[in-house]
Amino acid sequence: MPSCRRKRVVLTEPSDALLHAVQTDPHKHVFYLDQTGEIFETYEAYAARMSFYRLKQFQCEVTGKSGLDYFQAVESERQEARTLHSRFSEPLKPAVLKAVQWQVMGRLDHLVEAVYERFKDRYFAGEKILVDLSGTKYYARVEKVYPPKYNSDRKARDAHMDPSSSSNLSLEDDPPHLIGGDLKVQSKDANTSDNPSLYYYWVYVLELEKDKSHEKGKSSAKTIERDGKMVGSLLEVQCGMMSRDRLSFSKSILRRFIRDCVDREAAVASPWTVKPSIARRYGVDSVMPEETRKGVETIKRGEIDKRKKAWEEKEGPPTKKQKKMTAAQEERVRAFASAVEKREREAREKAEKQRLAKEEAERIAAEKKKKKPIRYPTEDLDIRIADKDRKAGLRVMRPLANRACLPFNETPGTFEAFLMTWNFLVVYGQPLHLSVFSLDEFEHAIRHSAADQLCPLIAEIHSSLIYNLRTVGFTRHGALLSFLKRREELLDGKQHESPVLGIALDDLIAAMADTGNNWERVPLRHTEGREGWEDALVGCLKDHANLQNFPRLEEILVKLLFAPELPSDDAGDSVSGSRPQTPDQNVLKQFVPPNERYHTLPPEDRIAILSFMCNLAISSKAIHAHMESCEEQLTALRKEKIEVNRMKKQYQEEMSMLLGETKEEISPASNANGEDVIMQDSSELSRQKDLRIKTQTIAHSKEREAARAKQASQKQAIAEHRRLDEEVNKLERRLEGIEREFRKLLGAVRVKPLGRDRFFNRIWWFDGLGSASLVGSGGAALYGTGRLFIQGPSEFDLDQLYKRKVEEKEDLEPRRREEEGDEGTLGSREWAAYNDLEEVEALVAWLNQKGHRELALKTALTKWWVHITAGMRRRMADITASAKIPDARRSARKSALGYDLSRDPYMLWTNRRAINAS
């Protein structure tokens, strides 16, 4: 049995409830672990046990190998057991097992030693042994064994060579080594009563022993031929001439064999017992004889008494019954007892003082350890705002993020689906052949409900997704099959079908039968305004969706295919600015084409459809090929970035060298002779005066030439420095471009947040990902969302916070209320946004750089700060420009004020990628 951390692994027994279920519920579904035969009631228990077995912490009990999983350890033990049982002599196994059965020995090594000493000179019929004949060893097989009673009767021994002899039966009825193999008999008595040296054996010589590697080539051909004549002969030998191969019988092999075949209980003085299956195989008695049982119990009682006596001696001798003492004796005893008690009290007080001193020393050491300076950055939650930081004006509460500004945030999960859908369409705009559009434009397109004026953005998005989903595998009429299956389940369960918005399931199935059947072949041309995309959408949903992967399918199809029975005059006579009646407020009865009903769908249903289609499109070949292309471009960009940084470093080193040369001190011009500056007397000879003037002229001319050369060199160095500076600026601009390209390509592979704050809230910035850009032509700022989003901690992060609360006994809720505010505390899957630049600046000021997470977040915000702020300013400018017309008037082409809906930015959007591709 494999061991784990020095403890044997015990298999899990079925629970009482599971055993009871065998009688009450025999068809109950359970989880069965085939390798061990264990049965589990729940998948969690099964998975936990399987995970435990897969840990690399088990040890093979036979070989001692560690670092294995449970199944590897079991296989190792089985392999070693097979090897062991194939090597160990088969005729010797029953004798050894009968000898160790019911033996009481504390250590396995002592049992192995006793068995080895008893059987090393005792052999049994059928054993393969080695026989030494005049220094030459042969492999032989024991044919017959003669007990000591045949020691002096050679004729009787020779008579057993004849198979037809009647004495054969008497030999078989007299098993050998009965006394010698009994470990209950003392070794000395066993050798006296059953001396192994008095046994005779008839052996059949099989072959010469194989030569050892160091003895090969030493034997001559004649010697081999002479020794080979003994092969096939029958000889009579004794134990002195016999031995066993060390690979089949040694203390280590014997120990492994016994350990594999026997077991023992944990109680004191428990006997070694042969495992039941092995005992049945080799004919070992599994029922303890009464005499043996009494002997075991006697040994057990003696061992218990011995331990009890040792314990009593350790605690102190029992008090003896004393004679009645006189008053003087009692006084002396009381004085002695008082003195003893005093000494014991002093000893206890001394021990208590030592204990208190030790605790105080440990407390001081712990305080010193706590006072060690903390190395920053560290865990964010370990950092607390000190009073001096508060007085210095450090921001304590995170700026409140706006939840009300998020579109479609009234229904849980709708905004997240809306945001992820927009991100997918923008990131994969190139393989989908969609031009970039902003989140605000997407929001207005989703809210568009004017029946007389179609929204090109909605048509292009659906058409692009439909074209993409034609390459994804689907089940023909999967939605209809799903509806029929549900109807059968309702009939089997004798449940009544509840109509959806007044439409029965049969009516919906009949309406779907003839709608959108050729959706994968319909040409949705861009030049024709993608006419027919609504029918193709219904066909796409029919083949790709079902009630399992799209639970709201039935309700949405009912809204797309049925309309309320309203007078025809009421349908087109809607008041400008009034919201059309939604299907939820009416009972739908009349079948209409989908193109007449899509504009009445609420935004939640439109987002659900697009989110479902985007989840399917992610598995298309076009998207996968685009991801692979982005990975290749990322690799190329990484290499280019390394090369650009290398060139930049080289240029900077050259600039430093040039700067050092130009800053060298210019030594002032000096005369060659100090005497030249001394005023000469007018009485000097004219010849000396002319010589001096000539010398000064030559020196001045040399200085001017040196100054002109130095000035020219400095100009050249400055020009070179300016050129290198321009090259460095070019490389820095290229590095900025590489970072932008890297962000675009990485966003197509995986979208990650900028970082997390101390409470694991994630900060998202979606601009500049995939097919979107941060900088337009002429360096103009572009944006997709133009804001920062904050998402609450995930379930895993909440578990981490709860674990910290349990382990460190720190309740973080008061701290979150203090530093986030009651309204600012976000739950899992809750979102908010920072729209203003002042809010983002306040967020950056709130972040503490001493924490790991907030340091990384602040670094990322600083890195992209220019583009974040530029996008926010650009969005606010666009909102201000379009705020002149109230946003509520979106339901008609023109309002009473003459507002034209077609001039809205989302209506002016054109799909340039589709135009270029057509």
Q: List pLDDT tens digits, range 366-403.
A: 776 665 577 888 888 888 888 887 887 788 899 999 99
Over range 451-456, report the average pLDDT.
87
The span from the CA of 734 to the CA of 728, in Å, is 10
pLDDT number for residue 321: 45
Q: Which residue has the higher pLDDT, 468 or 318?
A: 468
pLDDT of residue 762 exceeding 90: yes
Strand partners, 790: 763, 832
Q: What is the pLDDT of residue 868?
A: 94
The most confident of 32-41, 161-170, 489-498, 754-763, by mean pLDDT: 754-763
Stated length of the chain:
918
Q: Answer yes or no: is pLDDT of 610 > 90.
A: yes
Is the distance from CB of 553 to CB of 479 less than 8 angstroms?
Answer: yes
**φ and ψ at 789, to 5 degrees?**
-110, 145
What pLDDT score was predicted for residue 914?
81
Helix (H, G, I), strand (E, B) or coil at 534: helix
- In this structure, the strands spanning 831-834 and 242-243 are unpaired
Name the band, by pLDDT with cuts 50, 70 and 90, for residue 172: low
Q: Mean pLDDT for the chain?
A: 82
CA–chain centroid gap for 821, Å, is 34
What's residue 213's pLDDT? 43
Q: What are the tokens at 127?
A: 């054993």
Interatomic CA distance for residues 558 and 199, integer angstroms: 100
Q: What does the pLDDT average to over 562-577?
A: 55
pTM above 0.75, yes or no: no
CA pair distance 515, 593, nearest whole angstrom? 8
Contacts of 443 (CB under 8 A, 6+ apart): 407, 408, 418
Q: Is the pLDDT of residue 670 over 70?
A: no
DSSP-based three-state secondary structure for 743: helix
Q: pLDDT tens for residues 838-848?
A: 999 999 999 99
CB 556 within 8 A of CB 533: no
Position 459 confidence tier, pLDDT thresholds 50, 70, 90: very high
**Distance between the two ends of the chain, CA-based, in angstroms?**
72
| β pairing state of 242-243 and 562-564 | unpaired
Cα angle value 81/84/86 (rounded, 5°): 110
Cα–Cα distance measured from residue 21 to residue 28, given in angstroms and rounded to the nearest whole number: 7
∠ CA 156-158-161, rounded to 5°: 120
Going by pLDDT thresholds of 50, 70 and 90, the confidence category of residue 583 is very low
Instruction: Give a three-class secondary structure readout of 477-502.
Output: CHHHHHHHHHHHHHHHCCCCCCCECC
Q: How far apart are CA 723 and CA 654, in angstroms?
A: 11
What local confidence, expressed as pLDDT, does residue 618 receive? Answer: 92
pLDDT at 154: 74
> ∠ CA 748-750-751 to the nearest 5 degrees?
95
| Measured distance CA(687)–CA(177) in Å, rounded | 143
Q: Indicate the residue type of 614.
A: C
Closest listed residue to residue 701, CA positions, set 662, 672, 676 = 672
| Most confident segment among 357-361, 605-609, 686-690, 798-802 | 605-609
Which has more pLDDT, 223 or 694?
694
- Max mean pLDDT among 246-250, 423-427, 677-681 falls in 423-427
- Evaluate if residue 316 carries a pLDDT over 70: no
* Residue among 813, 806, 810, 823 at smallest CA distance from 759: 813
Mean pLDDT of 732-739: 90
Partners of 3 in the β-ladder: 8, 59
**Taking the CB of residue 113, how many other CB atoms lie within 10 A of it?**
15
pLDDT for res 44: 87
Residue 4, SS3 per DSSP:
strand
The helix/strand/coil state of 791 is strand
Amino acid in the structure at residue 207: E
Provide the pairing of β-strand 262-263 with 831-834: unpaired
Q: Do the beta carbons of residue 177 and residue 122 sit within 8 Å? A: yes
Check residue 221 and give its pLDDT.
Answer: 59
Span 545-555, pLDDT tens digits: 998 899 999 89
> What are the Cα distances from residue 465, in Å, to 431, 462, 512, 600, 621?
10, 5, 21, 21, 13
- The predicted structure's pLDDT at residue 483: 87
- Residues 189-205: pLDDT tens digits? 888 888 888 898 999 99
- 106 pLDDT band, cuts 50/70/90, is confident
Task: Please tell me the predicted confidence (pLDDT) of residue 646.
Answer: 92
The tens digit of pLDDT for each residue in 613-642 reads 999 999 999 999 999 999 999 999 999 999
User: Can you tell me the mean pLDDT for 69-94?
Assistant: 86
- Give mean pLDDT, residues 486-506: 81
For position 369, what pLDDT does the model report? 62
What's the mean pLDDT in 720-739? 89
Find out whether 477 and 515 touch, Cβ atoms under 8 Å: no
pLDDT for the residue numbered 287 = 85
